Structure formats: structure tokens, C-alpha cells
């Protein structure tokens, strides 16, 4: 029988006697009053791209949903199980977040696999193939995109996929309405796991720009 992994045990002890102590008052307050995060993040399951770490977040600050390749499916009230859509609905209608960020990242295994023509699916199981078919629109965007150097193809696709997810976010009536009213802003972001550089989608240029440390936050 396998025990609790030692790394989790040691990590938990470090948290309980370190960060939890430092943040005790905040946890106490959050337990009493409930959470009220202003930011929702849709990130990838990838172990190298944890939103709470990238944004050095404190407890209660970020409402995070993570899925394979940080994809947002289009609005589809079809009676099926939709975990990402359920999280979105909760964030918007109950928590009333002021920002929704689709956070993509470099070297995304899901996106890389989606780009490999005639490749084996990511797994022999029942779910990933269907889920990754959500990238078809972004793949088409890549075809229509200005020519891209072969070494930049994956990165461009990762970013185009973020834009498609933003578009899909807007297909949810409850989201498009609050965006129009200015109550909630939608953002795209991209994290380079090798350099630690975060890029932010810039509406003016229609593409991603590195966040300049020490300057004003991007719009
Ligand atoms: Zn990923």
C-alpha cells in the first residue's frame, strides 16, 4: 500500500507552521465571512503553471479553475456535465468577480499534441480527444495566421487558443452582458515557464505583450 507521498507531508508541515501561521488572521476572516475573490483564472492543469504561484496570491484572492490546456468551451446548455462552465457561472453570478483571466502557458503538452497531425491522441482514454477538439478553431486560426517560423508555431497556437477561449467566454449570455456593462473585464495572459515572463493580451495591438516589471499594470 502506498502512503501519503513524503513531499506532500513535508509540504503540508511547512505550510501549517509557516504560511498558515503568517496568514492565520486572513484564514480566520475568510472562514467567518466566506470568500470574495475579485479575479477568476482559467489555467492549465500543468504542474509548472500554477496561477497562485505566478501571481504570488494570498488565500481568498483568486478563484481558479484548471483544465487540460486552459480551454473554455462554448456556451452549451445541453444537460451534460460542464465543470468549467459551472465554475464560470458561479464566479460570475455568485462571486461577481470583476476580472476573468484565461492564462495560457509555454510548452503546453495539450496544445503541442493538438498540433501534431496524425499523431496518437494524448491518451487511449475516453475524454481527452473530445476535450482537445475544442482547439480545432484555434488550429484553423493558425492556418489563417500570417506565416510563422516553425519554432514559433506552438507558441502562436497557444496564444491563438487563449483568444478563442476569450471568444467562447463571450458566448455565455451571463458573461457578455456583464462585460458590456463594464462590470467584469476579460483578459488573456501567457506565462513562459522557462523565463518566468508573463505576457498580457493587448487590445490595441491585438496580441500579447510582456508585462513590464516596475511599470503600470497593462490595461
Ligand atoms: Zn498546458
Q: How far is the CA of 17 from the centre of ligand 1 (A)?
A: 32
Grid cell locating 165: 477561449
Q: How far is the CA of 106 from the centre of ligand 1 (A)?
A: 7
Query: How confident is residue 34, by pLDDT bands cut at 50, 70 and 90?
Result: very high
Q: How far is the CA of 127 from the centre of ligand 1 (A)?
A: 16
- DSSP code at position 112: H
pLDDT of residue 215: 74
- Domain boundaries defined on the chain: 1-34, 36-210
Instruction: Give the C-alpha distances (Å, rounded to integers) separating 169 from 129, 132, 143, 174.
Output: 21, 17, 23, 9
pLDDT in tens, 68-79: 999 999 999 999
Query: How confident is residue 173, by pLDDT bands cut at 50, 70 and 90?
Result: very high
Q: How far is the CA of 45 from the centre of ligand 1 (A)?
A: 6
Element (DSSP H or E) covering residue 186: strand 185-191
Q: How far, in Å, CA of 29 to CA of 13, rounded?
A: 22
Q: Average pLDDT, stretch 139-157?
A: 93
Q: How far, in Å, CA of 205 to CA of 101, rounded?
A: 18
Grid cell locating 87: 465554475
Q: Average pLDDT, stretch 176-180?
A: 95
pLDDT of residue 120: 65
Q: How far is the CA of 46 from the centre of ligand 1 (A)?
A: 5
List, as ranges, residues with CB under 5 A of the ion ligand 1: 44, 46, 108
Q: How far is the CA of 103 from the centre of ligand 1 (A)?
A: 9
Q: How far is the CA of 4 from the centre of ligand 1 (A)?
A: 26
| Candidate CATH numbers 3.10.20.30, 3.30.930.10, 3.40.1050.10, 3.40.50.10420; the one for domain 36-210 | 3.40.1050.10
Q: Are 188 and 166 in contact (CB under 8 A)?
A: yes
Amino acid at each position: 500500500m502506498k502512503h501519503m507521498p513524503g513531499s506532500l507531508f513535508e509540504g503540508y508541515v511547512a505550510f501549517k507552521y509557516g504560511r498558515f501561521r503568517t496568514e492565520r488572521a486572513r484564514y480566520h476572516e475568510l472562514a467567518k465571512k466566506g470568500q470574495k475573490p475579485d479575479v477568476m483564472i482559467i489555467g492549465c492543469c500543468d504542474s509548472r503553471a500554477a496561477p497562485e504561484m505566478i501571481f504570488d496570491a494570498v488565500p481568498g484572492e483568486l478563484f481558479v479553475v484548471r483544465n487540460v490546456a486552459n480551454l473554455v468551451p462554448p456556451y452549451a446548455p445541453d444537460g451534460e456535465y460542464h465543470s468549467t462552465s459551472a465554475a464560470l457561472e458561479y464566479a460570475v453570478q455568485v462571486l461577481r468577480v470583476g476580472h476573468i483571466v484565461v492564462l495560457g502557458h509555454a510548452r503546453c503538452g495539450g496544445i503541442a499534441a493538438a498540433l501534431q497531425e496524425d499523431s496518437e491522441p494524448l491518451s487511449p482514454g475516453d475524454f481527452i480527444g473530445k476535450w482537445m477538439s475544442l482547439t480545432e478553431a484555434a488550429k484553423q486560426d493558425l492556418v489563417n495566421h500570417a506565416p510563422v517560423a516553425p519554432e514559433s508555431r506552438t507558441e502562436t497556437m497557444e496564444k491563438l487558443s487563449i483568444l478563442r477561449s476569450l471568444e467562447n467566454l463571450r458566448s455565455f449570455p451571463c458573461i457578455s452582458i456583464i462585460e458590456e456593462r463594464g462590470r467584469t473585464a476579460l483578459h488573456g495572459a501567457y506565462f513562459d515557464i522557462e523565463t518566468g515572463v508573463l505576457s498580457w493580451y493587448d487590445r490595441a495591438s491585438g496580441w500579447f505583450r510582456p508585462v513590464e516589471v516596475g511599470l503600470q499594470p497593462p490595461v
